[in-house]
Amino acid sequence: MNTTKYFLIIAIALITFQNSWAQNKTANKAAINSPSKTYDIAAFLYPAYASDDPRLRPFWPKGNGEWETVLNMQDRFPGHYWNRKPLWGPLNEADPAVMGMQIDQATKHGVNVFIFDWYWYDGRPFMETTLDNGFLKADNSNKMKFYLMWANHDVVNTWDTRLNKYNENNVIWTGKVSRAEFEKICKRNIEKYFKLPQYYKIDGKPVFMIYDMPQLISGLGGIEETTDALKWFTAETKKAGFPGLELQLTMWNINLNYSGFDGGKTQNPENAFVKKLGFNSATHYQFAHFTNVNEDYLKILDNVKKEWARIDTAFEFKYYPHISVGWDNSPRTGTSAVVRNNTPENFEKGLRMAKEFADAHPKQVPLITINSWNEWTETSYLQPDNVFGYGYLNAIKKVFVDYK
Protein backbone atom coordinates (compact mmCIF):
# COMPACT_ATOMS: atom_id res chain seq x y z
CA MET A 1 0.00 0.00 0.00
CA ASN A 2 1.18 3.51 -0.75
CA THR A 3 2.70 4.93 2.48
CA THR A 4 1.03 8.33 2.08
CA LYS A 5 -2.33 6.68 1.50
CA TYR A 6 -1.78 4.45 4.55
CA PHE A 7 -1.08 7.38 6.87
CA LEU A 8 -4.03 9.28 5.41
CA ILE A 9 -6.34 6.39 6.31
CA ILE A 10 -4.89 6.27 9.83
CA ALA A 11 -5.31 10.04 10.23
CA ILE A 12 -8.93 9.92 9.08
CA ALA A 13 -9.61 7.04 11.47
CA LEU A 14 -8.07 8.95 14.39
CA ILE A 15 -10.05 12.11 13.58
CA THR A 16 -13.25 10.07 13.31
CA PHE A 17 -12.55 8.41 16.66
CA GLN A 18 -11.71 11.72 18.35
CA ASN A 19 -14.83 13.40 16.96
CA SER A 20 -16.98 10.47 18.04
CA TRP A 21 -15.43 10.50 21.52
CA ALA A 22 -15.90 14.27 21.81
CA GLN A 23 -19.52 14.04 20.67
CA ASN A 24 -20.25 11.27 23.15
CA LYS A 25 -18.59 13.28 25.93
CA THR A 26 -20.61 16.37 24.99
CA ALA A 27 -23.81 14.33 24.80
CA ASN A 28 -23.14 12.78 28.20
CA LYS A 29 -22.40 16.19 29.70
CA ALA A 30 -25.59 17.61 28.16
CA ALA A 31 -27.60 14.70 29.52
CA ILE A 32 -26.24 15.38 33.00
CA ASN A 33 -26.81 19.14 32.82
CA SER A 34 -30.16 19.14 30.99
CA PRO A 35 -33.22 19.64 33.18
CA SER A 36 -36.02 17.11 33.02
CA LYS A 37 -38.47 19.85 32.03
CA THR A 38 -38.86 22.81 29.73
CA TYR A 39 -39.16 26.14 31.50
CA ASP A 40 -41.77 28.72 30.53
CA ILE A 41 -39.83 31.98 30.41
CA ALA A 42 -42.43 34.75 30.23
CA ALA A 43 -41.37 38.33 29.52
CA PHE A 44 -43.74 41.23 30.08
CA LEU A 45 -44.26 43.20 26.88
CA TYR A 46 -45.20 46.88 27.02
CA PRO A 47 -47.22 47.71 23.86
CA ALA A 48 -46.49 51.44 23.52
CA TYR A 49 -43.87 51.17 20.76
CA ALA A 50 -46.40 51.28 17.95
CA SER A 51 -46.70 53.95 15.28
CA ASP A 52 -50.21 53.23 14.04
CA ASP A 53 -52.27 53.77 17.21
CA PRO A 54 -53.92 57.23 17.12
CA ARG A 55 -54.75 57.15 20.85
CA LEU A 56 -51.02 57.29 21.64
CA ARG A 57 -50.53 60.69 20.00
CA PRO A 58 -51.73 62.83 22.93
CA PHE A 59 -48.77 61.44 24.90
CA TRP A 60 -46.24 61.08 22.07
CA PRO A 61 -47.28 63.44 19.25
CA LYS A 62 -44.59 62.45 16.74
CA GLY A 63 -46.42 59.19 16.07
CA ASN A 64 -43.82 56.59 17.04
CA GLY A 65 -45.15 55.84 20.52
CA GLU A 66 -42.85 55.98 23.53
CA TRP A 67 -39.80 55.69 21.30
CA GLU A 68 -40.11 59.48 21.32
CA THR A 69 -39.13 59.52 25.01
CA VAL A 70 -36.39 56.93 24.56
CA LEU A 71 -34.69 58.72 21.67
CA ASN A 72 -34.75 62.08 23.48
CA MET A 73 -33.31 60.76 26.73
CA GLN A 74 -29.91 62.01 27.93
CA ASP A 75 -27.76 61.35 30.99
CA ARG A 76 -29.22 63.08 34.04
CA PHE A 77 -26.20 63.40 36.32
CA PRO A 78 -22.46 62.52 36.45
CA GLY A 79 -22.06 58.76 36.32
CA HIS A 80 -25.59 58.24 35.01
CA TYR A 81 -25.60 56.45 31.68
CA TRP A 82 -28.74 56.76 29.63
CA ASN A 83 -27.52 57.44 26.14
CA ARG A 84 -29.02 54.07 25.24
CA LYS A 85 -29.98 53.06 21.73
CA PRO A 86 -31.86 49.98 20.50
CA LEU A 87 -29.73 47.79 18.23
CA TRP A 88 -32.84 46.84 16.28
CA GLY A 89 -33.75 50.50 15.91
CA PRO A 90 -36.98 52.21 17.00
CA LEU A 91 -39.22 49.68 15.28
CA ASN A 92 -43.00 49.68 15.01
CA GLU A 93 -43.94 46.66 17.10
CA ALA A 94 -47.47 46.67 15.68
CA ASP A 95 -45.94 45.58 12.35
CA PRO A 96 -46.27 41.78 11.98
CA ALA A 97 -42.91 41.53 10.18
CA VAL A 98 -41.19 43.34 13.05
CA MET A 99 -42.95 41.21 15.63
CA GLY A 100 -42.13 38.08 13.64
CA MET A 101 -38.43 38.94 13.88
CA GLN A 102 -38.79 39.49 17.62
CA ILE A 103 -40.62 36.18 18.08
CA ASP A 104 -37.72 34.43 16.35
CA GLN A 105 -35.17 36.19 18.53
CA ALA A 106 -37.15 35.59 21.72
CA THR A 107 -37.63 31.87 21.16
CA LYS A 108 -34.04 31.43 19.97
CA HIS A 109 -32.88 32.79 23.32
CA GLY A 110 -35.37 30.88 25.48
CA VAL A 111 -38.22 33.37 25.94
CA ASN A 112 -41.29 31.37 24.93
CA VAL A 113 -44.13 33.43 26.44
CA PHE A 114 -45.03 37.12 26.20
CA ILE A 115 -47.20 38.65 28.91
CA PHE A 116 -48.87 41.60 27.21
CA ASP A 117 -49.61 44.61 29.37
CA TRP A 118 -53.26 45.07 28.49
CA TYR A 119 -55.25 48.27 29.00
CA TRP A 120 -58.89 49.36 29.08
CA TYR A 121 -59.80 53.02 29.44
CA ASP A 122 -62.77 55.22 28.71
CA GLY A 123 -64.98 52.21 27.94
CA ARG A 124 -62.72 50.63 25.32
CA PRO A 125 -59.37 48.87 24.87
CA PHE A 126 -56.16 50.85 24.66
CA MET A 127 -52.83 49.94 23.00
CA GLU A 128 -54.05 46.64 21.53
CA THR A 129 -52.44 47.13 18.12
CA THR A 130 -49.10 45.59 19.14
CA LEU A 131 -50.90 42.39 20.12
CA ASP A 132 -53.63 42.34 17.47
CA ASN A 133 -51.75 43.66 14.43
CA GLY A 134 -48.20 42.75 15.41
CA PHE A 135 -48.02 39.52 17.38
CA LEU A 136 -51.18 37.73 16.25
CA LYS A 137 -50.68 38.57 12.57
CA ALA A 138 -47.04 37.49 12.52
CA ASP A 139 -46.50 34.39 10.36
CA ASN A 140 -44.69 32.64 13.21
CA SER A 141 -46.96 33.58 16.13
CA ASN A 142 -47.56 29.88 16.78
CA LYS A 143 -43.94 29.61 18.02
CA MET A 144 -44.85 31.42 21.24
CA LYS A 145 -47.59 31.61 23.83
CA PHE A 146 -48.98 34.81 25.31
CA TYR A 147 -51.28 35.91 28.07
CA LEU A 148 -52.69 39.16 29.40
CA MET A 149 -51.87 41.22 32.43
CA TRP A 150 -54.66 43.74 32.90
CA ALA A 151 -52.75 46.94 33.74
CA ASN A 152 -55.71 48.58 35.44
CA HIS A 153 -53.87 51.56 36.92
CA ASP A 154 -54.90 55.16 36.37
CA VAL A 155 -53.32 57.12 33.53
CA VAL A 156 -51.72 60.32 34.81
CA ASN A 157 -49.08 62.61 33.28
CA THR A 158 -46.25 60.07 33.58
CA TRP A 159 -46.20 59.15 29.90
CA ASP A 160 -46.12 62.77 28.72
CA THR A 161 -42.68 64.22 29.49
CA ARG A 162 -43.94 67.68 28.53
CA LEU A 163 -46.28 67.62 31.55
CA ASN A 164 -44.86 65.24 34.15
CA LYS A 165 -42.09 67.68 35.10
CA TYR A 166 -44.74 69.70 36.93
CA ASN A 167 -45.46 66.75 39.25
CA GLU A 168 -49.18 67.11 38.68
CA ASN A 169 -50.67 63.63 38.84
CA ASN A 170 -53.89 64.59 37.15
CA VAL A 171 -55.96 61.53 36.30
CA ILE A 172 -56.52 61.44 32.56
CA TRP A 173 -58.23 58.05 32.55
CA THR A 174 -59.19 56.00 35.57
CA GLY A 175 -58.47 52.29 35.76
CA LYS A 176 -61.56 51.66 37.88
CA VAL A 177 -64.45 49.83 36.23
CA SER A 178 -68.04 49.10 37.22
CA ARG A 179 -69.48 45.58 37.36
CA ALA A 180 -71.16 46.06 33.97
CA GLU A 181 -67.90 47.17 32.39
CA PHE A 182 -65.99 44.37 34.12
CA GLU A 183 -68.34 41.82 32.57
CA LYS A 184 -67.93 43.43 29.16
CA ILE A 185 -64.14 43.17 29.47
CA CYS A 186 -64.19 39.54 30.60
CA LYS A 187 -66.59 38.34 27.92
CA ARG A 188 -64.55 40.10 25.26
CA ASN A 189 -61.27 38.58 26.41
CA ILE A 190 -62.73 35.08 26.66
CA GLU A 191 -64.00 35.24 23.09
CA LYS A 192 -61.18 37.23 21.51
CA TYR A 193 -58.10 35.84 23.24
CA PHE A 194 -58.64 32.87 25.56
CA LYS A 195 -59.82 30.63 22.73
CA LEU A 196 -56.71 31.21 20.62
CA PRO A 197 -54.25 28.29 20.47
CA GLN A 198 -51.40 30.68 21.33
CA TYR A 199 -53.02 31.74 24.60
CA TYR A 200 -51.05 30.45 27.57
CA LYS A 201 -52.90 28.02 29.79
CA ILE A 202 -52.04 26.09 32.94
CA ASP A 203 -53.78 22.72 33.17
CA GLY A 204 -56.03 23.90 30.35
CA LYS A 205 -57.03 27.06 32.24
CA PRO A 206 -56.35 30.44 30.59
CA VAL A 207 -54.06 32.61 32.71
CA PHE A 208 -55.27 36.14 33.42
CA MET A 209 -53.16 38.45 35.57
CA ILE A 210 -54.49 41.53 37.36
CA TYR A 211 -52.08 44.35 38.15
CA ASP A 212 -53.86 46.58 40.68
CA MET A 213 -56.23 44.83 43.09
CA PRO A 214 -57.06 47.88 45.27
CA GLN A 215 -58.10 49.65 42.07
CA LEU A 216 -60.34 46.75 41.01
CA ILE A 217 -61.91 46.51 44.48
CA SER A 218 -62.56 50.24 44.57
CA GLY A 219 -64.28 50.23 41.19
CA LEU A 220 -66.43 47.19 41.91
CA GLY A 221 -67.53 48.53 45.28
CA GLY A 222 -65.73 46.40 47.85
CA ILE A 223 -64.24 43.02 48.63
CA GLU A 224 -67.49 41.06 48.63
CA GLU A 225 -68.49 42.58 45.30
CA THR A 226 -65.06 41.84 43.83
CA THR A 227 -65.16 38.25 45.08
CA ASP A 228 -68.53 37.79 43.40
CA ALA A 229 -67.30 39.36 40.15
CA LEU A 230 -64.22 37.11 40.01
CA LYS A 231 -66.37 34.03 40.70
CA TRP A 232 -68.59 35.10 37.82
CA PHE A 233 -65.50 35.50 35.59
CA THR A 234 -64.39 31.95 36.42
CA ALA A 235 -67.89 30.59 35.74
CA GLU A 236 -68.02 32.37 32.37
CA THR A 237 -64.64 30.91 31.44
CA LYS A 238 -65.94 27.44 32.25
CA LYS A 239 -69.06 28.08 30.15
CA ALA A 240 -66.72 28.79 27.23
CA GLY A 241 -65.40 25.22 27.49
CA PHE A 242 -62.34 25.61 29.70
CA PRO A 243 -61.81 23.63 32.92
CA GLY A 244 -61.46 26.90 34.82
CA LEU A 245 -59.59 30.19 35.04
CA GLU A 246 -56.06 30.67 36.35
CA LEU A 247 -56.39 34.01 38.13
CA GLN A 248 -52.94 35.43 38.75
CA LEU A 249 -52.25 38.15 41.30
CA THR A 250 -49.59 40.81 40.88
CA MET A 251 -47.71 40.91 44.18
CA TRP A 252 -46.66 44.21 45.74
CA ASN A 253 -45.58 45.21 49.24
CA ILE A 254 -47.80 44.15 52.12
CA ASN A 255 -50.06 47.12 51.60
CA LEU A 256 -53.45 45.61 50.87
CA ASN A 257 -56.44 47.43 52.33
CA TYR A 258 -58.45 44.92 54.34
CA SER A 259 -61.36 47.27 55.04
CA GLY A 260 -64.60 45.37 54.60
CA PHE A 261 -62.86 42.02 54.96
CA ASP A 262 -63.65 39.82 57.96
CA GLY A 263 -60.73 37.48 58.42
CA GLY A 264 -62.35 35.76 61.39
CA LYS A 265 -59.82 34.14 63.68
CA THR A 266 -57.15 33.71 61.02
CA GLN A 267 -53.61 34.64 61.99
CA ASN A 268 -52.78 35.35 58.36
CA PRO A 269 -55.31 37.84 56.97
CA GLU A 270 -53.12 38.43 53.90
CA ASN A 271 -53.45 34.82 52.78
CA ALA A 272 -57.14 34.65 53.73
CA PHE A 273 -57.79 37.83 51.75
CA VAL A 274 -56.20 36.50 48.57
CA LYS A 275 -57.80 33.08 49.03
CA LYS A 276 -61.25 34.64 49.40
CA LEU A 277 -60.83 36.53 46.13
CA GLY A 278 -60.09 33.25 44.35
CA PHE A 279 -56.57 33.73 43.03
CA ASN A 280 -54.78 30.52 42.03
CA SER A 281 -51.29 31.95 41.66
CA ALA A 282 -49.15 35.06 41.85
CA THR A 283 -45.97 36.63 40.56
CA HIS A 284 -44.37 40.06 40.63
CA TYR A 285 -44.20 42.65 37.88
CA GLN A 286 -41.11 44.56 38.99
CA PHE A 287 -38.55 44.45 41.83
CA ALA A 288 -39.34 48.14 42.46
CA HIS A 289 -42.77 47.13 43.77
CA PHE A 290 -41.46 45.38 46.87
CA THR A 291 -37.83 46.21 47.63
CA ASN A 292 -35.43 49.14 47.58
CA VAL A 293 -34.00 49.29 44.06
CA ASN A 294 -31.64 52.20 44.65
CA GLU A 295 -29.08 49.50 45.33
CA ASP A 296 -26.49 47.17 43.89
CA TYR A 297 -28.19 44.40 41.90
CA LEU A 298 -26.67 41.60 43.98
CA LYS A 299 -27.99 43.19 47.18
CA ILE A 300 -31.41 43.42 45.55
CA LEU A 301 -31.26 39.71 44.67
CA ASP A 302 -30.58 38.91 48.34
CA ASN A 303 -33.73 40.82 49.32
CA VAL A 304 -35.73 39.18 46.54
CA LYS A 305 -34.75 35.71 47.74
CA LYS A 306 -35.93 36.61 51.26
CA GLU A 307 -39.26 37.83 49.87
CA TRP A 308 -39.74 34.59 47.93
CA ALA A 309 -39.15 32.64 51.15
CA ARG A 310 -41.71 34.80 52.97
CA ILE A 311 -44.30 34.27 50.25
CA ASP A 312 -43.62 30.54 50.23
CA THR A 313 -44.42 30.40 53.94
CA ALA A 314 -47.25 32.95 54.16
CA PHE A 315 -49.41 31.96 51.20
CA GLU A 316 -51.14 28.83 49.98
CA PHE A 317 -51.25 29.80 46.31
CA LYS A 318 -48.58 29.01 43.72
CA TYR A 319 -45.92 31.69 43.43
CA TYR A 320 -44.00 31.93 40.16
CA PRO A 321 -40.56 33.52 40.63
CA HIS A 322 -39.90 36.87 39.03
CA ILE A 323 -36.67 38.53 37.90
CA SER A 324 -36.37 42.17 36.82
CA VAL A 325 -33.56 43.32 34.54
CA GLY A 326 -33.26 46.67 36.29
CA TRP A 327 -34.98 49.94 37.18
CA ASP A 328 -34.45 53.58 36.24
CA ASN A 329 -37.62 55.53 35.49
CA SER A 330 -35.84 58.83 34.86
CA PRO A 331 -36.57 58.89 31.10
CA ARG A 332 -40.16 59.63 32.12
CA THR A 333 -39.83 61.39 35.45
CA GLY A 334 -36.45 63.14 35.40
CA THR A 335 -35.39 61.62 38.71
CA SER A 336 -35.56 58.02 39.82
CA ALA A 337 -34.03 55.32 41.95
CA VAL A 338 -31.41 53.55 39.86
CA VAL A 339 -30.40 49.90 40.03
CA ARG A 340 -26.63 49.60 39.92
CA ASN A 341 -24.42 46.81 38.62
CA ASN A 342 -27.23 45.00 36.82
CA THR A 343 -24.89 43.49 34.26
CA PRO A 344 -25.89 40.46 32.16
CA GLU A 345 -23.59 38.38 34.38
CA ASN A 346 -25.46 39.42 37.53
CA PHE A 347 -28.80 39.06 35.77
CA GLU A 348 -27.76 35.48 35.03
CA LYS A 349 -27.33 34.93 38.78
CA GLY A 350 -30.91 36.04 39.24
CA LEU A 351 -32.06 33.62 36.55
CA ARG A 352 -30.28 30.74 38.26
CA MET A 353 -31.93 31.74 41.53
CA ALA A 354 -35.35 31.64 39.84
CA LYS A 355 -34.56 28.29 38.24
CA GLU A 356 -33.61 26.90 41.64
CA PHE A 357 -36.93 28.12 43.09
CA ALA A 358 -38.88 26.56 40.22
CA ASP A 359 -37.01 23.26 40.61
CA ALA A 360 -37.85 23.25 44.33
CA HIS A 361 -41.58 23.39 43.47
CA PRO A 362 -42.02 20.41 41.12
CA LYS A 363 -45.81 20.27 41.55
CA GLN A 364 -46.32 23.59 39.78
CA VAL A 365 -45.63 24.67 36.21
CA PRO A 366 -41.99 25.85 35.80
CA LEU A 367 -43.05 29.40 34.92
CA ILE A 368 -40.62 32.29 35.47
CA THR A 369 -41.63 35.89 34.73
CA ILE A 370 -39.20 38.59 33.63
CA ASN A 371 -39.48 42.35 33.51
CA SER A 372 -39.32 42.88 30.67
CA TRP A 373 -39.06 42.49 26.94
CA ASN A 374 -39.11 46.21 26.17
CA GLU A 375 -39.65 48.55 29.15
CA TRP A 376 -37.06 51.01 27.84
CA THR A 377 -38.30 54.02 29.80
CA GLU A 378 -38.06 52.01 33.03
CA THR A 379 -34.60 50.72 31.98
CA SER A 380 -35.62 47.09 32.40
CA TYR A 381 -35.51 45.42 29.00
CA LEU A 382 -34.13 42.32 27.30
CA GLN A 383 -33.96 43.78 23.80
CA PRO A 384 -30.37 44.38 22.64
CA ASP A 385 -28.85 47.83 22.99
CA ASN A 386 -25.56 49.69 22.53
CA VAL A 387 -24.52 49.03 26.15
CA PHE A 388 -24.67 45.25 26.62
CA GLY A 389 -25.65 44.07 23.14
CA TYR A 390 -27.49 40.75 23.38
CA GLY A 391 -26.11 40.16 26.87
CA TYR A 392 -29.42 39.75 28.72
CA LEU A 393 -30.91 37.50 26.04
CA ASN A 394 -27.74 35.42 25.96
CA ALA A 395 -27.95 34.99 29.73
CA ILE A 396 -31.42 33.44 29.37
CA LYS A 397 -30.19 31.23 26.55
CA LYS A 398 -27.22 30.08 28.61
CA VAL A 399 -29.35 29.06 31.60
CA PHE A 400 -32.51 27.72 29.94
CA VAL A 401 -31.51 26.65 26.42
CA ASP A 402 -27.84 25.65 26.57
CA TYR A 403 -28.04 24.51 30.23
CA LYS A 404 -24.51 25.76 30.93
Model confidence pLDDT, tens digit, residues 23-79: 444 443 443 345 557 999 999 999 999 987 788 888 888 889 999 999 988 777 777
3-state secondary structure (DSSP) of residue 246 = strand
% of the chain surpassing 70 pLDDT: 85
Q: Residue 85 has what pLDDT?
A: 92
Whether the CA torsion 272, 276, 281, 287 is positive or negative: it is: negative
Residue 95: alpha-carbon gap to chain centroid: 21
Element (H, E) at 283: strand 281-284
Query: Residue 285 is which amino acid?
Result: Y
Q: What is the value of pTM for the model shown?
A: 0.88
CATH 3.20.20.80 fits 41-400, yes or no: yes
Residue by residue, DSSP assigns 115-147 as EEEEEEETTEEES-HIIIIIITTSTTGGGSEEE
Residue 145: strand pairing partners: 113
Q: Residue 171 has what pLDDT?
A: 87
Q: Tell me if 190 sits within 8 A of 230, measured CB to CB.
A: no
Q: Is the per-residue pLDDT at 361 higher than 90?
A: yes
Beta carbons within 8 Å of 316's beta carbon, 6+ residues apart: 271, 275
Beta carbons within 8 Å of 393's beta carbon, 6+ residues apart: 105, 109, 111, 382, 383, 384
Domain boundaries, the chain: 1-34, 41-400
pLDDT in tens, 206-234: 999 999 999 999 999 999 999 999 999 99
Confidence band, pLDDT 50/70/90 cuts, at residue 277? very high
Confidence band, pLDDT 50/70/90 cuts, at residue 109? very high
